[in-house]
Amino acid sequence: MLKVEKLNQFYGESHTLWDVDLKVLTGSCTCLMGRNGVGKTTLLKAVMGLLPLSSGSICMDGNEIAGKPAELRAHQGIGYVPQGREIFTQLSVEENLRVGLLARSDGLREIPEFIFEIFPVLKQMLSRRGGDLSGGQQQQLAIGRALAIDPNLLILDEPTEGIQPNIVEEIRNTLHHLNKDLGITLILTEQHIKIAKKTPTNIPKNSDKEVNSMVSFVAFNNLGKCSEIKSKSI
């Protein structure tokens, strides 16, 4: 489980995150909702260790990770798919995927075959430069790179942004598979409410949430604060 408590973050003199509290249950899917600029991406980057904190706690499976560098958080099983994909455009598809392997804690140096089962197009384009892929293919590569570290928690920032409709549906199905079948905990930001609602989650039976719920929604207001997490039945 990921637990965030009293998280505060500043950009210069701008107070971006205000005492944010967030609990993400193991095996669940949590979707952060809110207009642009309210702190969704900032929170995800803070969890991943890409932004410094002013104060607060971030615990992963009971272990405090606030203050640890991003690479150590990756070793602990946190995968990250940034907004805008941020693949290495001059590297090949294979080289991009191998970058993810460097963060594995088990020392595996071969690209897991299940990534190609999820995204067959990546296997067909192993030698192609990342910059030559379409936007949808680059997003698949970014997700594949994050999966290469064998994450327990996968963070995705606007995974369907700027993607053609047919690939959006494919990514939605992929998130369904990762969460429902492989048991990977998901945290994502998503502007398309229909996509968010269709991304199912495994709510543990011993939790205080409704078992028939599909997605936990967390609303951000314009002060960078989270509202109470609510599970909604779809």
Residue 124 in domain: no
Q: What is the pLDDT of residues 74-120, one digit of tens each?
A: 999 999 999 988 999 999 999 999 999 988 888 888 999 999 999 99
Q: With a threshold of 0.75, does the pTM exceed it?
A: yes
Residue 133 in domain: no
Q: How many domains in the chain?
A: 1
Contact between residue 16 and residue 9 where contact means Cβ atoms under 8 Å apart:
yes
Q: How confident is the model at residue 211 (pLDDT cuts 50, 70, 90)?
A: very low
Q: What is the mean pLDDT of residues 53-57?
A: 94
Query: Whole domain around residue 212: which residue ranges?
Result: 2-84+152-232
Of all residues in the chain, the percent with pLDDT exceeding 70 is 81
Residue 100 in domain: no
Reference 119, options 100, 101, 95, 145; nearest CA is 145
Contact between residue 29 and residue 179 where contact means Cβ atoms under 8 Å apart:
yes
Query: What local confidence, expressed as pLDDT, does residue 36 receive?
Result: 79
Query: What local confidence, expressed as pLDDT, does residue 169 receive?
Result: 86
Q: Look up the CATH number of the domain holding residue 210.
A: 3.40.50.300
Residue 166 in domain: yes
- Cα angle, residue 104 at apex, residues 102 and 106 outer, rounded to 5°: 125
Residue 97 in domain: no
Query: What local confidence, expressed as pLDDT, does residue 33 receive?
Result: 81
Query: What local confidence, expressed as pLDDT, does residue 135 receive?
Result: 92
Residue 125 in domain: no
Residue 68 in domain: yes
Contact between residue 175 and residue 199 where contact means Cβ atoms under 8 Å apart:
yes
Which residue type does 119 have? F
Residue 137 in domain: no
Q: How confident is the model at residue 147 (pLDDT cuts 50, 70, 90)?
A: very high
